[in-house]
Structure 1
Amino acid sequence: MTQISPIDRLAAYTSHSEAISVIGLGYVGLPLALLLANKYRVIGFDISSERVKLMQQGSDPSKELANEAFCSKNIEFTADPSRLRDASFHIVAVPTPINASREPNLKPLLGASETVGKALKKGDIVVYESTVYPGCTEEDCVPVLERESGLTFGEDFFAGYSPERINPGDKVHTVDKILKIVAGSDPDTTEVVAGIYGSVVTAGLHRAPSIKVAEAAKVIENAQRDLNISFVNELSIIFKKLGIDTQEVLTAAGTKWNFLKFQPGLVGGHCISVDPYYLLHKAKQVGYEPEVIASGRRVNDGMPAFIAKELTQLLLQRNINPKQAKVLVMGATFKENVADIRNSKIFDVVNELMNYFINVHLVDPYANPNEVAREYRISMQDEPGKSYDAVIVAVAHREYCDRDLDYFRDLSKPGQDLILFDLKALFDRNDARKGEVIWRL
Structure 2
Amino acid sequence: MSQTLIVNARLVNEGREYDGDLRIADGRIAQIGSGLSAREGERVIDANGRRLLPGMIDDQVHFREPGMEYKADMATESAAAVAGGLTSFMDMPNTRPPTLDAAALQDKYDRAAGRAWGNYGFYLGASNDNLEAIRTLDPLTAPGIKVFMGASTGNMLVDDPDTLDGIFREAPTPIITHCEDTPTIDANLAAYKARYGDDIPVECHPDIRSREACVKSTRLAMELARRHDARLHILHISTADELALFEQGPIIRADGSRKRITAETCVHFLRYDRSDYARMGNLIKCNPAIKDAGDRQALVRALAEDRIDVLATDHAPHTLEEKSRPYAQAPSGLPLVQHALLLALDLVHEGRLTNAQVVQKFAHAAAQLFDVRERGFLREGYWADLVLVDDAPLEVRREDVLSKCGWSPFEGTRFHNRIASTWVNGVQVWDGNRLLGTPQGRRLEFAR
Same fold, judged at TM 0.5 (above): no
The answer to which structure, 1 or 2, has the higher relative contact order (CA under 8 A, 6+ apart) is 2
Q: Which has the higher strand share?
A: 2
Q: Which has the higher helix share?
A: 1
- Name the TM-score, length of structure 2 as normaliser: 0.27
- Name the TM-score, length of structure 1 as normaliser: 0.27
> Quick check: which has more Rg, 1 or 2?
1
